[in-house]
Amino acid sequence: MIRCGFICILFMVYGVEAQVASVGPPKPPLGKRWVLNPDFSDEFNGTELDTTKWLNYHPTWIGRPPGLFMPSQVSVKDGFLQIKGEKMKQDTIVHAYGKDIVFNIKGGAVVSKKAAFLGYYECRVKAAATSMSTTFWFSGNNVTGPKGCDQYSQEWDIQECIGKQGDFKGSYFASGMHSNAHYWYNDCEGERHDYRASQVRFENEEVASKDFHVYGGWWRDALHASYYYDNRAPKHQKFFDSISSKPMNTPMYMRLVCETYPFPWISLPTDEELADDTKNTVYYDWVRGYELVDVHESTTLKPEALIKIYDEGVYFEQSVLQVKSTNKLKIPLTYKANVDRTVTLKLLNEEGKMVAQKKFTAHAGYANMEFDFELLQVPKRSSNYKLVSHMCIKEQKDQILDINTIIINLKN
């Protein structure tokens, strides 16, 4: 008979050294894991925009007057996607939408070539210190509405802000995070309506141009979204659903945009601001998209997806786990891995002798799972057991990267 005074399970993850990161998606649903979607992810570490993923213009919108979207204002350098706002040397007249429009400010837009659907999306960005926008949002094309004779399109704004300091029209918009969801509806009579969900806001006294911030949005389903600002607790939103029970049900394109807002809603940028290179540029450090897959689903990672997002490890969310005495334990855990890892579970008795061992592949991503571990016998009395996780580097098995401990309280 095996005498178990305590249980020690060693989690060994073999691979390259991890890099600590303070960002990433929220905890996934049980049995799922977040996997980076390279179509909507970019670290902007090159010298030019990746044209396999992005357009350096807006394909259906030239900009809001007096700001014209121009590819010349978009660049990738110094580790950032940069979009610069500038004053034109002279007014420019563009014939669009059936009329002549006057522009005198240069802005820019970067748009994904593919349309996104559901998932978690985040960016790290430092706003321009002008009254031109710094934005991270999604929108789609018109589709047939629920009545057949109507149409609708979707717009999901994770973040809209400006970074200008001081007292001016619209200054409330210069700090924090502002998230909106629009259901643009053309009824059967041809009238256009802007139906909105209740705005989600995070307050911050510091203007958005003073430092970088992380803005995230989880498009959960056709009716719900959650928003994340730096390391704060999330806030949640229900989309407008008076016309359709599934208002956000079609893919949308990602937009990174620096535009002018209409006066007098927000003051237009001054010529001095637009001439100041310390103020007139938006800096996107990176943008990332994630999709949910099953915990054990194998995925083929493209080279650009092999980035060190996570502080890799196996984690327990509580210090004590109370379960009914049984020989089949369900151990709730999460793990984070930048590439596929091998996790080895070792069951030790009180003398430190290994009495059982199991392995599973921890596929790259952020996973939430329950692991079944079977004891050789049911303990005859209520007992406290100790569960320990060790994470090691493959090439240096004695070098421990991570240790976590949980007490398992088995009650008869």
Positions marked catalytic: 155, 160
Mean pLDDT on 379-397: 55
Which tens digits make up the pLDDT trace of 266-303?
999 999 999 999 999 999 999 999 999 999 998 887 76
**Count of beta carbons in the 10 Å neighbourhood of residue 266:** 21
pLDDT value at residue 7: 40
30-57 residue pLDDT tens: 999 999 999 999 999 999 999 999 999 9
Please report the pLDDT score of residue 178 as a whole number: 97
- Decide if pLDDT at 154 tops 60: yes
Cα separation, 201 vs 206, whole angstroms? 14
Q: Write down the pTM of the prediction.
A: 0.91
Q: Give me the pLDDT at residue 379, please.
A: 59
395-407 residue pLDDT tens: 445 555 456 555 6
- Measured CA to CA, the distance from residue 130 to residue 164 in angstroms comes to 4
User: For residue 305, is pLDDT > 90?
Assistant: no
- Averaged pLDDT, 1-26: 45
Hey, what domains does the chain have and what are their CATH numbers? 8-19+308-411 (2.60.40.2550), 32-294 (2.60.120.200)
Could you tell me which residues are beta bridge partners of residue 75? 82
Would you state the pLDDT for residue 19? Answer: 31
What's the mean pLDDT in 177-185? Answer: 97
Residues 76-120 have pLDDT tens digits of 999 999 999 999 999 999 999 999 999 999 999 999 999 999 999
Provide the residue type at 408 as one letter: I
Whether residue 9 has pLDDT greater than 50 = no
